[in-house]
Structure 1
């Protein structure tokens, strides 16, 4: 019977057979009883007496076993994390069960939820793991929003550096092009300033330089088999 365990797991206080029959109006009492026995044999549900009524409830022991299974899966996902649907598909655990276990693991600070800036989907990763830039958006994002303050500060720092290297009295001279810095040289300088607690990649700075070129603050020049950069007078 489809999703019977998931249906029972939704009721924290348990369900009577009458409750289950009401949830599956097209199933016979014999079909319900057969599937309940299968779940009982697998120890996925417990049966208990609530006053004068027998009730069925999702097994706590199963929850603990499946906690380990889900936690292991999330650990193995590393910095990329896991979606709920991936956890459900790979473990064959009903989604309601999965959500309960995820809340338990979060409360124990074993995992944490990260919202992807690209897809807006929620991924789960190990509590001590730093999410990948693919999820967070990298250094340009703070709590899934563009970190404008950091971008402005870094842009100013790069412009000041390029001005010192390529402008003299707010003018530039091609005769000194040998001194114009390439991407790698700019990267080395920025790293030495310690402006970011997170390591800045060449790709990070290249992206920002492209924005500065578009804003007509910087010019890229091809010289001796490589590109060098100069500040434009402002």
Structure 2
């Protein structure tokens, strides 16, 4: 087995894995990403990264998880003028949901020209970045350079460059439904009786996620919560029903719709990151909707 000799190279590889997985990585993830790394080397480098403050250690369900420590680059800001420090601190406080330039202007009390100059300076130093929002395509928010934008900003897996991927969502919708149908068909005539058969026809979101992952139809990594969003559109369409197991887990099964469905997934509302702002009677704030003008035209 080839051994990596350079400690710096190993550190860089581990940090790159952590950057791609902001929720944290395990020893198993590190081994999968760097298979040539021995156990002793991994432990030694991890300890060095912890001592340097590059990563944080968490105990998650009995497993050790390493998470990239949010580097505020205080040293880089230290030599900056007061205006840059004020703006940087405001952006840092906003976290991964970012802050509008208007709010920065109000809270920093800087003129437009000066604020733009400060923002460009911080961006050039790779301390901050501007991110477009799916719910306001003409606006952008600022956040720390190494942060992953919140799903309410990026739109999650259903958006590419702020554009809703309707075809991608439709494919996932059909494949999820196909999996539930196959599960139901296999045990339709269960010898143990219809009640047992009905119970066994349910599937968890994790099972559906594994099926979708194994198909290899997605270029992005789908989390279980992404699959739950798709499964919920099937429920809304009347193609599936959900139930809760005694252990509290939610499960889904395919059903025959009584009436032809309009197909909620055909419009973005089914997977909209702002759907929580809607009510049964309409939008709480219609101006927040990305799509309402398109559908009214």
Please give the per-residue CA displacement for 1:111-153, whole angstroms capped at 9, x wherever unaligned. Answer: 1111221133210011111111111122211111112343234
Question: Which of these two proteins has the greater Rg computed from alpha carbons?
Answer: 1
Q: State how many pairs are aligned.
A: 168
The reply on whether 1:82 has 2:99 as its aligned counterpart is yes
Judging changes above 3 Å, is the alpha-carbon distance between structure 1 residues 223 and 110 closer, same or farther for their aligned structure 2 residues? Answer: closer
The reply on whether 1:148 has 2:166 as its aligned counterpart is yes
The reply on whether 1:186 has 2:214 as its aligned counterpart is no
1:200 Cα deviation after fit: 2.3
Secondary structure in 2 matching 1:79:
helix
Between the aligned partners of 1:105 and 1:172, the Cα distance in structure 2 is 65
- Correspondence for 1:208 among 224, 230, 233: 230
1:162 Cα deviation after fit: 0.8
After superposition, residues 1-234 of structure 1 pair within 5 angstroms as 64-120=81-137, 121-168=139-186, 175=194, 176-182=197-203, 185-191=204-210, 193-194=212-213, 195=218, 197-198=220-221, 200-202=223-225, 204-213=226-235, 215=237, 218-220=239-241, 228-230=252-254, 232=256
Let me know the Cα RMSD of the aligned residues: 3.4
- Identify unmatched segments of 5+ residues in structure 1: 1-61
Between the aligned partners of 2:98 and 2:149, the Cα distance in structure 1 is 7
Match of residue 280 from structure 2: none
1:86 Cα deviation after fit: 1.3
CA contact (8 A) 1:163 1:230 kept: yes
TM-score of the two chains, using structure 1 as the length reference:
0.58
Judging changes above 3 Å, is the alpha-carbon distance between structure 1 residues 77 and 223 closer, same or farther for their aligned structure 2 residues? Answer: closer
1:181 Cα deviation after fit: 1.7
- Identify unmatched segments of 5+ residues in structure 2: 1-78, 258-297
Match of residue 26 from structure 1: none
